């Protein structure tokens, strides 16, 4: 049986927490690593751990979390920024954009960013 949406989930799904751009403003996080994890390890982590949560493996449909198809390449993106300032500007602008594949998969994205200048 699919889990019902919580009051918070329902507000997000109904657009009660949506910014002007149409992207739900729930959680945005930036994690810094000295180097990005191997893409195969990251995909394994996503498939085995993250997708075990109904809210990350599906999208809200008729008041319940509905499982949906997941394609790693449509939810995990790689970018390169010139430096730390470029990274900050990228993060600020990307958080304001609608999800690229909300209609065809779970309602989340992961953006992997590297900088050319490691300072």
Q: Which of 35-44, 79-88, 91-100 has the lowest mean pLDDT?
A: 91-100
Q: Which of 16-20, 36-40, 82-86 has the lowest mean pLDDT?
A: 16-20
pLDDT at 48 exceeding the cut of 80: yes
pLDDT at 27 exceeding the cut of 70: no
User: Are the C-beta atoms of 86 and 115 separated by less than 8 Å?
Assistant: yes
pTM strictly above 0.95: no
pLDDT at 70 exceeding the cut of 50: yes
pLDDT of residue 26: 56
Count Cα neighbours of 89 within 13 Å in the Cβ-side half-sphere.
Answer: 8
Q: Which residues of 73-110 are buried (b: 16+ CB within 10 A; e: fewer)?
A: eebbeeeebeeeebbeebbeeeeeeebebeeebbbbbe
User: Are the C-beta atoms of 41 and 117 separated by less than 8 Å?
Assistant: no
């Amino acid at each position: 049986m699919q889990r019902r949406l919580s009051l918070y989930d329902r507000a997000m799904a109904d657009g009660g927490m949506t910014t002007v751009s149409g992207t739900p403003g729930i959680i945005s996080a930036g994690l810094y690593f000295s180097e990005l994890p191997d893409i195969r390890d990251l995909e394994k982590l996503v498939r085995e751990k993250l997708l075990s949560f109904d809210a990350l493996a599906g999208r809200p449909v008729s008041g319940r979390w509905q499982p949906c198809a997941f394609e790693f390449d449509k939810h995990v993106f790689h970018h390169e920024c010139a430096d730390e300032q470029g990274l900050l500007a990228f993060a600020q602008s990307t958080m304001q954009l609608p999800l690229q594949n909300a209609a065809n998969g779970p309602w989340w994205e992961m953006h992997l960013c590297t900088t050319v200048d490691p300072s």
